[in-house]
Structure 1
Amino acid sequence: MLVLFGFGSTSSASIAIHDDRAAAGYWTERNPNGDALYLTQDEIISVNQAMREKTSSLTDLLSYPQTVDGAEVKELILSAQQDFRGEKEPGDHYDKGGMMISQEDYNAAQDNCNLEAVPASTAICYGVVTMRTDMRLLPTSKYYFDDKSFQHYDDLQGTALDPCEPLLVLHTSKDGAFAFAIGRYYKGWVSIGAIGFAERANWEKYVSPKNFLVVTDHKKKVHVGGTWDVLFQMGSIIPLKSAKMRNGAYQAIVPVEVNGHLSEARVAIKADNTVNPGYLPCTPNNFVRQSLKFLDDVYGWGGMEESVDCSSYVQDVYRSMGILIPRDADQQELAMNHSVSLEGLDKAARYQKAAEAPVGALFFKPGHVMLYLGKDDKGTPLAIHSISSYFTFPGGKAQKHYIRQVLISDFTFQNGKAVPTIDGMTSIGSCF
């Protein structure tokens, strides 16, 4: 039975598939070419460059200028506010305690952007994320929930950053608690306490390490110094001291913040199926295996709840193979190297295009993205995705189901306007 989160009732309706089609072997065993390369690593480097040229949401950190004009810094800060840019009032938002965000709180968050202190020319500082942390639209630790009793969607949450992620730091909030930063995939405010600042030469080894591990499980905790755990999600890269193993373990470098400065801990990470030395081969079967490692995980808006939303989910799968797609679904759709528009097609033609897509392709509809697994034994195309909700219409009345999980489904589930997903999809995109 499916619990309808936030509605206090249950229903037998569910779009999730839980039979043998929910196992990686179902898909890999039926694909005789499943281990053939889509792209070599050299080709992936070219693909990544092509995507960076298509969207400003991806940043080549190494080539970013070392000084930035103050007007540009202000524009970056304002554009990172997204829907809050230019808004004079907070709207109906609630904090963790269920109290409405006051005008005073909102004014303080906007004022904390410290725009008046942006100099005419800003020298870039270099930082490395030392713990999984949030990147926010405004420099405040207050949550902005639009429902005081259903607190899973913080409207100030941009994304979550993994440890070892390099950052360009452009500005500091008025209270000194947040840094405005540019990452590989996103721009926003990060807690100062989660950043270790470094000289550029040391920072560069996190941007482009010579030897590194890729986290290949959906999430992995690394024990540091026997005293605390550091959480990584799939696709995170962890620099290595060398390519050689010692006693069945890799000698990894984990960043640590000490009085604001970057320090490092040497950590032995066991050689097992949760990590890989370098990126995984870009193959159909690896798209299947990697995507199914998240199956049944909770939906995590903007990386909340130590999990993934629809776009961070497919981004994690792709980056485990070295393909660095944008963070948000609309930017992912724009950045695809190969795109098939579904505009103007009828249902039959849409299904035909879906069936022709390569395994691992991304299916887009407004506000959502799904990863294609292939056709099942009945010829039905199926996808896996991290989905928040869908609608049914018993008796003609719309009923919203907050399913909030990573699941496999077909394309018949409906949105709030009773449009089946197959009819609402805008394009099918891939990088191969």
Structure 2
Amino acid sequence: MKRKILTAVSGCCLGLCAMMFSPVPAFAADTIAITDQRATPSYWTKHTINGDKVLLTQQEISTINRTMRGKSKTLVDLAAYNIHQSAAAVKEMILAAQQDYRGEETPGEAYDANGKQVPTAHFKQVKANCNLEGLTGNITGQYALVTERTNMRLLPTADNYFDDVTCLHYDNLQATALDPAEPVIILHTSKDGAFAFCQARHYTGWVSLSALAITDRKHWQRYVNPKDFLVVTANKKVVSVGGTCTVLFQMGSVIPLASKKLQAHDTWLAYVPVAVNGVLSEATVKITDDDSVHKGFLPCTKNNFIKQSMKFLGDEYGWGGMDDSVDCSSFTADIYRSMGIEIPRDADQQELAMPQSLKFDGLTTAQRFTKVKEAPVGALLFKPGHVMMYLGQDAKGNPLVIHSASSYFTFDKGKKQKHYIRKILVSDLHYQNGKAVETIDGLTSAGFCAK
């Protein structure tokens, strides 16, 4: 979800609201979404050869995960992370996390949730809240766990910075969302004491301290490298904690088990972190053994790529995890993680990290269609600012993809119209971006872990 806010890319996980055209962008009556039988998992699993063959063992996946960590600095091995950092190193991390706002003195054209322009004074106050002057000497990080689905922010504020008053779904300060039971390392706290600057397994940013439970390394490691665990295989999973509250997990979330044996009434006993005065106090919860969870990661198969992706079909597009949903790159990351494959959070880093890839540079449109058909089911197709998952060829030989799409463009007698669709959908590769370039012609690579 790397932010170059003014990039004009259809269906991407970038801030497309910044590009305004006449007339005002609207939801399209005609859509790029395919809604016939090709938008069902059974269509693809029936046509996929050796769909249930295991492509990678968990040991092979562990090796691939190490390889990808070497390719993308956004991925870290939390278990081996050095919690002792210099103040200068942490300062650089905080500044880097600001992305496009680094070095800026004003917020530019930014609007709050009420449609009012964000004043420069507010922006300076938020930047000052980073508390950089409080970084001195050597820093020792704290171990913590996420207790509820929460936002990770580029700057220490919950206030929205929308770049268009008519489009309140794209907050430029939103980095990503973290699910319950995610382990993090706290490296710094904001001046107002409300936010912690954290290193997660795939991102750095500011998290509300109210959503964190500080703990010791022993308990923290139970969540970093659990021996026995459930992985969430549904698009979303709500778990009741103590009968008093619920927490929301998304696909790929890992929940440590309190017992490796299935309990009475087909339930699992699992740990969910809760905070008492900011300190960890684990709750033991019962989770029904159904198709929303799986003990351990799912086998890495073509059919599981298909089935997992289709569970999101029709869900709302969620920029940076907003609206309790997924954008293009968190969609693909969640699918892969349900099988134990840890790819980066942002599309550009996913492309960089892929162990194997097919390149499209210098190819004609016809050659591109030939090349994309060489990609295996589950491969990720990249274009600037966007990522899609390849499903294969339909009965007529058309390559189709599933993706979390934000928008696309149509052109009628030279008149450009932007259409917000904001859904997870199946489409072909003909839809256009703001420069009238079809998606097939904008592809840069297809990345995958195994054929």
Q: Per-residue CA shift, 1:91-116, capped at 9, x if unaligned?
A: 11111111111111000100000000
Q: Counterpart in 2 of 1:148? A: 165
Aligned positions of 1:164-313 closer than 5 A? 164-247=181-264, 248-313=266-331
| Aligned CA-pair RMSD | 1.1
Deviation at 1:149, TM superposition (A): 2.9
Letter in structure 2 aligned against 1:153? Y
* Worse-matched range after superposition: 277-286 or 339-348: 339-348
Choose the corresponding residue for 2:382, options 364, 367, 380.
364
Deviation at 1:339, TM superposition (A): 1.1
Structure 1 gap ranges (5+)? none
| Mapped pair 1:43 → 2:75 | no
Deviation at 1:244, TM superposition (A): 0.5
Q: Counterpart in 1 of 2:419? A: 401
Q: Counterpart in 1 of 2:8? A: none
Aligned positions of 1:382-397 closer than 5 A? 382-397=400-415
In 2, Cα distance between the equivalents of 1:8 and 1:192? Answer: 37
SS at match of 1:181: strand
Q: Counterpart in 2 of 1:117? A: 134
Letter in structure 2 aligned against 1:115? L
Distance verdict in 2 for CA 1:230–1:11, change over 3 Å:
closer
Q: Is residue 144–residue 213 contact of structure 2 (8 Å, CA) maintained in 1?
A: yes
Q: Is residue 154–residue 175 contact of structure 2 (8 Å, CA) maintained in 1?
A: yes
In 2, Cα distance between the equivalents of 1:227 and 1:338? Answer: 47
Aligned positions of 1:8-27 closer than 5 A? 11-27=28-44
Q: Counterpart in 2 of 1:430? A: 448
Distance verdict in 2 for CA 1:317–1:189, change over 3 Å:
same
| Mapped pair 1:346 → 2:364 | yes
Q: Counterpart in 1 of 2:69? A: 52
* Worse-matched range after superposition: 273-282 or 30-39: 30-39
In 2, Cα distance between the equivalents of 1:300 and 1:35? Answer: 31
In 2, Cα distance between the equivalents of 1:141 and 1:310? Answer: 23
In 2, Cα distance between the equivalents of 1:64 and 1:29? Answer: 44
SS at match of 1:176: coil
Deviation at 1:340, TM superposition (A): 1.1
Deviation at 1:8, TM superposition (A): 7.5
| Mapped pair 1:330 → 2:348 | yes
Deviation at 1:9, TM superposition (A): 5.5
Q: Is residue 326–residue 404 contact of structure 2 (8 Å, CA) maintained in 1?
A: yes
Q: Is residue 25–residue 419 contact of structure 2 (8 Å, CA) maintained in 1?
A: no
Deviation at 1:396, TM superposition (A): 1.4
**Overall identity of the aligned pairs, in %:** 57
Q: RCO greater where, 1 or 2, for CA within 8 Å and sep 6 or more?
A: 2
Q: Counterpart in 1 of 2:152? A: 135
Letter in structure 2 aligned against 1:161? L
Q: Is residue 25–residue 418 contact of structure 2 (8 Å, CA) maintained in 1?
A: no
More strand per residue: 1 or 2? 1
Q: Counterpart in 1 of 2:5? A: none
Letter in structure 2 aligned against 1:354? V
In 2, Cα distance between the equivalents of 1:255 and 1:332? Answer: 29
Q: Per-residue CA shift, 1:299-324, capped at 9, x if unaligned?
A: 00000000000000000000000000
Deviation at 1:335, TM superposition (A): 0.1
Letter in structure 2 aligned against 1:263? S
The number of equivalent residue pairs is: 428
SS at match of 1:127: strand
Q: Counterpart in 2 of 1:379? A: 397
Deviation at 1:356, TM superposition (A): 1.2
Q: Per-residue CA shift, 1:199-250, capped at 9, x if unaligned?
A: 1111011100111000000001001111111000000000001110111100
In 2, Cα distance between the equivalents of 1:54 and 1:339? Answer: 13
Q: TM-score, normalised by structure 1?
A: 0.98
In 2, Cα distance between the equivalents of 1:127 and 1:7? Answer: 44
Deviation at 1:32, TM superposition (A): 3.5
Deviation at 1:7, TM superposition (A): 3.9
Distance verdict in 2 for CA 1:10–1:388, change over 3 Å:
closer
Choose the corresponding residue for 1:417, options 421, 435, 441.
435
Letter in structure 2 aligned against 1:289? K
Letter in structure 1 aligned against 2:286? A
SS at match of 2:333: helix
Q: Counterpart in 1 of 2:14? A: none
Q: Per-residue CA shift, 1:365-394, capped at 9, x if unaligned?
A: 000000000000000000000010010001
Q: Per-residue CA shift, 1:267-309, capped at 9, x if unaligned?
A: 0000000000000000000000000000010000000000000
